[in-house]
Amino acid sequence: MDYLQMFICIILTVLSVLLVVCIIQNYRIQNKMQTNEEELLDNYRRLKEAYDKEAEEKRVLTERCEELIRSKEHMQKTAGTDYLTGLPNRFEYTEHLKEELRDMKSDGLLGIIDLDIDNFRNINDSYGHFYGDQTLCEVTRRLTRFVLERDAYLARVGGDGFSVILKDFSERAELEAQVVQLLNYLKDPYHIGEREFMLTLSAGVVVVPTDGTNEQTITKNVDMAKFFAKASGKDTYIFYDDSLDRSVTEKLELQTEVRKAIEDEAFEVYFQPQIDLATEETLGFEALVRWNHPERGVIVPSEFIPVAEECGLIVPLGEFVLRESCKKLKKWQDEGCRQVVAVNLSARQFKDRESMDNVMRIIRETGINPKQLELEITETMALDDLDYAINTLQKLKQLGVSIALDDFGTGYSSLNYLKRLPVNQLKIDKSFMDNVLEDHSDQKIVETIIALAQALNLVVVAEGVENSAQADFLKSVSCDKAQGYLYSKPLREKDMLGFLQTN
């Protein structure tokens, strides 16, 4: 082998070795790369998993967040919406009113009308809550129609209370015309289920800015106006003015005076005779309260009974009259007097179980013969809760007391309740007697009440008999008894005893 061949051989060997080394190195590198790649893949997988997890969590959170936003929106909506009528409720109304006040132009006017259904409780009580709800929906439908035809806003602000905000008027007279129109529209007969009935509403009205510029003052004044609309006999509207504020103050003062007069025993019971029309004999007396005022002299009940009734003072006052009447009756009974004493019960007294317990206690405690005591209630008092009235009157009758229905003919005069009420006597209201000689309808009403009483075995008394022609008419239609100035005005005890002796 020559050098060249040796050289080539060495070169080849070196190259082979290098090749082997390269192959090994390459294998190693490849191996490492594969390991790295696997590691990378592994890392990638882990990262992806972590990412997916995060993404899922984010998705759940986003969904929850959207749900919360939706429920918040729903809550906001329902918090501001009345569930029955779908109208804005008081909360929403207040917000809206504030907004209207903020956006009001300097020469702008707003009319706020607060409406209340008169005697709505009667519908619920007599026909049930379904009819009550349907009535509210029908009132809502009519009001909605009214506001849609105008630039107006409507809300249900209480059980049977609605508020309307009106903008399209330029003077008070125009607003008044709209209120009249609205109240008349609400008076059309209601057909709910198979029933047809009439409704009336009372409204308080405030003009902004004249009667207030902030939400609190406006609400207070419109409430007051509505209160006066109700107090003045319902089915009407009253615009707020300062005199209402004054009359509230006067009323509060009168309440304080009445409270003090009860403490000072400044009340006195007078007695007005009730006469047998056939024999002219005095059969009994009605106890009528008078206030001996230190400055104003003797004050008649119409000036203080309504206020006392409103603030609850009628309860102690009524108890005073009953106790006084029973004490005097006991004394007269012991002296051999056979006359009956009739005492008026107020609506508050009659409705309150505790007061009625007191009434029964006074009757027992004073030791009277209850046969000579009569209690007078009005039709409206009895009708408010017929079952309660029947129950309470039965308890009184068990004591031996008799019951008269006062002012008969001025309330509902439903034959159905009259049949069920355990009463002994009907008192024909004075208003029918006033024109009984001239007014043919009044004559017929009086005759009908007498016939009705006779059919039901009840005694009839005519109130407010002022002249003998009226008494003759009553005799001709077989009325049992009469009470009135013809015989005597209400008298102090001493004069009453004198009257008994001379008659």
User: Residues in the site for ligand C2E, rule: CB under 6 A?
Assistant: 272, 288-289, 300-302, 305, 314, 318, 321, 344, 346, 376, 406-407, 430, 463-466, 483-485, 490
Closer of 124 and 431 to ligand C2E (Cβ): 431
Cα separation, 132 vs 233, whole angstroms: 22
Q: Contact 97/157 with Cβ under 8 angstroms?
A: no
DSSP string across 84-121: TT-SB-HHHHHHHHHHHHHH--TT--EEEEEEEETTHH
Q: Could you tell me the two tokens for 8?
A: 């080539």
In this structure, which amino acid lies at residue 211? D
Q: Which residues contact 109 (CB under 8 A, 6 or more apart)?
A: 167, 169, 170, 171, 175, 207, 208, 209
Q: Of 289 and 356, which CB lies nearer to Mg ion in the complex structure?
A: 289
* Contacts to Mg ion by CB under 5 A: 344, 376, 406-407, 463
3-class SS of residue 257: helix
- Shortest separation between residue 301's beta carbon and ligand C2E, angstroms: 3
Instruction: Please state the closest distance from residue 320 (CB atom) to Mg ion, in A.
Output: 16
Closer of 153 and 487 to ligand C2E (Cβ): 487
* Closer residue to ligand C2E, CB minimum distance, 206 or 404: 404
Residue 495 C-beta: closest distance to ligand C2E, Å: 14
Residue 325 CB, nearest approach to ligand C2E (Å): 8
| 411 burial type by CB count under 10 A (0-12 exposed, 13-18 middle, 19+ buried) | middle
Nearer to ligand C2E by Cβ, of 149 and 354: the residue is 354
3-class secondary structure per residue, 139-196: HHHHHHHHHHCCCEEEEECCCCEEEEEECCCCCHHHHHHHHHHHHHHHHCCEEECCEE
d(CA 308, CA 254): 9
Q: How far is the CB of 297 from ligand C2E (least distance, A)?
A: 14
Residue 484 interaction partner, one of Mg ion, ligand C2E, none, beta carbon < 5-8 Å per kind: ligand C2E
DSSP state of 81: B
- Neighbour tally for 146: CB within 10 Å: 18
* 290 within 8 A of 283, measured Cβ to Cβ: no
154 vs 482, beta carbon nearer ligand C2E: 482
Q: Which is nearer to Mg ion, 219 or 344 (CB)?
A: 344
Q: 150 contacts which partner out of ligand C2E, Mg ion, none, CB within 5 to 8 A by kind?
A: none
- With CB under 5 to 8 Å by kind, the binding choice for 321 among ligand C2E, Mg ion, none is ligand C2E
Least Å distance, CB 410 to Mg ion, is 9
**Least distance from C-beta 257 to Mg ion, angstroms?**
24
Q: How far is the CB of 314 from Mg ion (least distance, A)?
A: 14
Judged by CB, which is closer to ligand C2E: 191, or 353? 353
| Residue 258's binding partner out of ligand C2E, Mg ion, none, with CB under 5 to 8 Å set by partner kind | none
Q: Among residues 160 and 324, whose Cβ is nearest to ligand C2E? A: 324
Could you tell which of ligand C2E, Mg ion, none binds residue 112, using a CB distance below 5 to 8 A set by kind? none
Q: Which entry of ligand C2E, Mg ion, none binds 88, CB below 5 to 8 A by partner kind?
A: none
Q: How far is the CB of 301 from Mg ion (least distance, A)?
A: 10
Q: Which is nearer to ligand C2E, 212 or 318 (CB)?
A: 318
483 binds, among Mg ion, ligand C2E, none (CB under 5 to 8 A by kind): ligand C2E
For residues 487, 287, 388, 351, the Cα torsion angle rounded to the nearest 10 degrees is: 130
**Closest approach of Cβ 229 to ligand C2E, in Å?**
23
What is the distance, to the nearest Å, from the Cα of residue 178 to the centroid of all Cα atoms in its chain? Answer: 25
* Closest distance to ligand C2E from the beta carbon of 378 (Å): 8
- Of residues 355, 377, 328, the one with CA closest to residue 496: 328
| Residue 396, binding choice from ligand C2E, Mg ion, none, Cβ under 5 to 8 Å by partner class | none
Q: Where are the alpha helices (DSSP H) in 269-352?
A: 305-311, 314-334, 347-351
Q: How far apart are CA 489 and CA 503, in angstroms?
A: 14
Q: 485 is in the binding site of which of Mg ion, ligand C2E, none (Cβ under 5 to 8 A by kind)?
A: ligand C2E
Rank residues 236 and 410 by Cβ distance to Mg ion and give the closer one.
Answer: 410
Cβ neighbour number for residue 355 with a 10 Å cutoff? 20
CA dist 333 and 151 (Å) reads: 71
Q: How far apart are CA 9 and CA 110, in angstroms?
A: 117
Please name every residue paired with 134 in a beta bridge, in sequence order, or none if there are none: none
Question: Backbone phi, then psi, for 158, in 5-degree steps?
Answer: -170, -175
User: Could you write out the three-class secondary structure of 331-380?
Assistant: HHHHCCCCCEEEEECCHHHHHCHHHHHHHHHHHHHCCCCHHHEEEEEEHH
Give min distance, CB of 286 to Mg ion, in A. 6
Q: Which CB, 161 or 316, lies closer to ligand C2E? A: 316
* 339 touches 307 (CB < 8 A): no
